[in-house]
Amino acid sequence: MAGRDDMTATNADAAAGAGAASVPALEARGLEASWDGTPVVADVSLALEPGEVSCLVGRSGCGKTTLFHALAGLTRPTAGQVLLHGREVTGVPGSVSYMLQKDLLLPNRTILDNVCLPLLLSGMPKRAARDKAKPLLSRFGLEECADRWPSELSGGMRQRAALLRTYLMDNDVVLLDEPFSALDAITRGEVRSWFCGMAAELGLTALVITHDVDESVMMSDRIFVMRGNPQAHVPSMICGVVEVERTCSAAEAQDAGFDLTPQFISAKAAVKELLGS
Amino acid sequence: MAASGTQGPHAPQRAGRTPRAGGPSHVRRALVPTFTILGLIAIWQAVVDFGVIQRFLLPSPTDVLSALVGDWALIWEHAQTTLVESIAGLLIGVAIGFVLAVLMDRFEGFYLAMQPLITLSQTVPTVAIAPLLLIWFGYGLAPKIILIVVTTFFPVSVSLVAGFRSTDPDVIDLLRTMHATDLQIFWYAKLPAAADQFFSGLKISATYAIVGAVISEWLGGQSGLGVYMTRVRKSFAYDKMFASIVVVSALSMVLMGLVEVLERLCMPWKRAERKHQ
């Protein structure tokens, strides 16, 4: 509960400071994290601009998820800082929202009650939580599913529910770890376009972790490329940042055929070169 | 004409496979075991009626039935004692098993300390310990209930500990980022995750409860089906012995049925899951 109060204060600070200089929504400074005692990422610095969708791309096993845990405050980094709107939140879980490849919907709660979870956990009475979440269901295309069990929904619908739950965590920064990887190719494109539209509409700052280069170029303004081989004791680092020159919004990218434009191809080539493939 | 010719050889094969497609039908599932049991009873009846086995050694099913009806008032009186002991013992056993499981899940040290002791408690033969309990606690309900508690807490605590441990660590992380307290994590994630295994354990405990009660009554007491059994055994009234066995089996099955009803009430989402898998 204390964390929540801190949050609103932080947002207010950020709003006040926004006029003076642009403070990144989320910033990592010299972050170093290890997993099971082995250093996995070293000296990672990155900044997410408010309202932007960025991607973090790296090969499987390069430590994306370890970095993700450190950014989300689930593990304490061995060195460095995480700043949310300029305020230190290193090792504090709950300052940013997060979402995984697995939707992590609780099987014993209906979709509405799953979505309400962050509200219930913060102490809001059940009725008030439901009243707050219900109007949002239709915005997320879930109005028919309020009283269904998660097992009755398709993978795409479940991810939408997971995103609505993430949204109700009431943080303006969202970390997504391979959020669409469990979906089939067609659904993935749809959910991704829908997510980008939603993120723009809600003004979310998002960092999407993915190993799919095409996906990263399709959906983000900026791509952080991570490279290294922690298994061979070479900690991963951010080896470059690619700015994507967009010809249309990320939500329209799929329909507008952004993946056929020279801008897409040059960004993809730049990412691939940084990845060393 | 040509088409029917090519279909010819395949048609009978398909026809042979169709009825098995979705597993045995409901009717089949009910009829096969019913006829098996009726068949066995008929053989039993014939074996006794045709004098293959002497009637005083093995009473026929009709003898058992008439004994059950004739002595019903007395049997029911004893059955009530057994039922009271079983349910009291089961409730206390489940409560103790639950508390132990929660403590073992919460405190690693407690788990390490208790795990061997709990396993050891199940290796003690009940027939050996029951007479001691009678000496220590008298011939009333107490020693019986204690024996039932000792046998029923085990399946519950073991299945619950395994269930708590099966909680997805990613779900726990997610709840932590939503500022959940330990109690909330227990209530929202661990308890539902353990529900399945808890009910499997409870079903085993329920059967142990009736059998445990009968064993402890058999070894000493004033009333109960075990006491009734020792009395009819001494008077060589084997028809009444079989009648009481029928009642013991019936009580066990009713108790298991109640657990199953309880399981369905507590886990309404399971029905949807079965349908969608």
Mean pLDDT to the nearest integer, B189-211: 93
Which residue in A94, A148, A151 is closest to B177 by CB distance?
Answer: A94
Mean pLDDT to the nearest integer, B74-99: 95
CATH topology of domain B61-275: MetI-like fold (1.10.3720)
Q: In this structure, are A107 and A234 located in the same domain?
A: no
Inter-residue contact A148 to A111 (CB < 8 Å): yes
Q: In this structure, are A267 and A134 located in the same domain?
A: no
Chain B (194-253) residues lying within 8 Å, Cβ to Cβ, of chain A: 195
Looking at residue B27, its pLDDT comes to 86
Looking at residue A60, its pLDDT comes to 82
Q: In this structure, are A163 and A178 located in the same domain?
A: no
Q: In this structure, are A157 and A184 located in the same domain?
A: no
What's the token pair of residue B156? 């519950």
With cut-offs at 50, 70 and 90, classify the pLDDT of residue B22.
low
Domain boundary (A142, A170, A198) is at A170
Is A118 in the B-facing interface, judged by CB distances under 8 Å?
yes
Q: In this structure, are A183 and A120 located in the same domain?
A: no
Per-residue pLDDT of chain A (277 residues; tens, 9 = 90+): 333 444 444 444 444 444 445 788 899 898 888 888 888 888 888 899 898 899 999 888 888 888 888 998 888 888 888 999 888 888 888 888 888 888 899 999 999 999 999 999 988 999 999 999 988 888 888 888 889 999 998 888 898 899 889 888 888 899 998 888 878 888 888 888 888 888 888 888 999 998 888 888 888 889 999 988 888 888 888 888 888 887 788 878 778 788 888 888 888 888 888 888 6
Q: In this structure, are A83 and A178 located in the same domain?
A: yes
Domain boundary (A170, A187, A216) is at A170
Domain boundary (A155, A170, A185) is at A170
Q: ipTM beyond 0.90?
A: no
Q: CA B222 → CA B67, B90, B144, B216, B269, distances in Å?
A: 21, 21, 12, 11, 46
Mean pLDDT to the nearest integer, B230-257: 92
Looking at residue B26, its pLDDT comes to 84
A77: alpha, beta or left, given left = phi > 0 and alpha = psi -120 to 50?
beta
DSSP string, B55-102: TTTS--HHHHHHHHHHTHHHHHHHHHHHHHHHHHHHHHHHHHHHHHHH
Least Cα separation, residue B177 to chain A (angstroms) = 4
With cut-offs at 50, 70 and 90, classify the pLDDT of residue B184.
very high
Least Cα separation, residue A121 to chain B (angstroms) = 6
What are the domain boundaries of chain B? 2-49, 61-275
Task: Please state the domain count of chain A.
Answer: 2
Q: In this structure, are A219 and A269 located in the same domain?
A: yes
Q: In this structure, are A271 and A187 located in the same domain?
A: yes
Least Cα separation, residue B111 to chain A (angstroms) = 24
Looking at residue B245, its pLDDT comes to 93
Q: In this structure, are A137 and A6 located in the same domain?
A: no
Q: In this structure, are A65 and A139 located in the same domain?
A: no
Q: What is the 3-state secondary structure (H, E, C) of chain A?
A: CHHHHHHHHHHHHHHHHHCCCCCCCEEEEEEEEEECCEEEEEEEEEEECCCCEEEEECCCCCCHHHHHHHHHCCCCCCEEEEEECCEECCCCCCCCEEECCCCCCCCCCCHHHHHCHHHHHCCCCHHHHHHHHHHHHHHCCCHHHCCCCHHHCCHHHHHHHHHHHHHCCCCCEEEEECCCCCCCHHHHHHHHHHHHHHHHHHCCEEEEEECCHHHHHHHCCEEEEEEEEHHHCEEEEEEEEEECCCCCCCCCHHHHCHHHCHHHHHHHHHHHHHHCC
What's the token pair of residue A250? 């990320």
pLDDT beyond 90 at B179: no
Q: Which own/partner pairs from B259-266 qualify as long-range (CB within 8 Å, at least 24 positions apart)?
A: B259/B199, B259/B202, B259/B203, B259/B206, B260/B203, B262/B199, B263/B199, B263/B202, B266/B195, B266/B199
- Kindly state the percentage of chain B with pLDDT values over 70: 91
Domain range enclosing A224: 2-96+172-275
- The amino acid that residue A56 corresponds to is L
Chain A (63-102) residues lying within 8 Å, Cβ to Cβ, of chain B: 69, 72-74, 93-94, 96-98, 100, 102
B108-152 pLDDT per residue, tens? 999 999 989 888 888 888 888 888 888 898 888 889 999 999 999
With cut-offs at 50, 70 and 90, classify the pLDDT of residue B231.
very high
Q: In this structure, are A88 and A30 located in the same domain?
A: yes
Inter-residue contact A104 to A125 (CB < 8 Å): no
CATH of the domain at A263: 3.40.50.300
Give the integer Cα–Cα distance in Å for A150 and A146.
Answer: 10
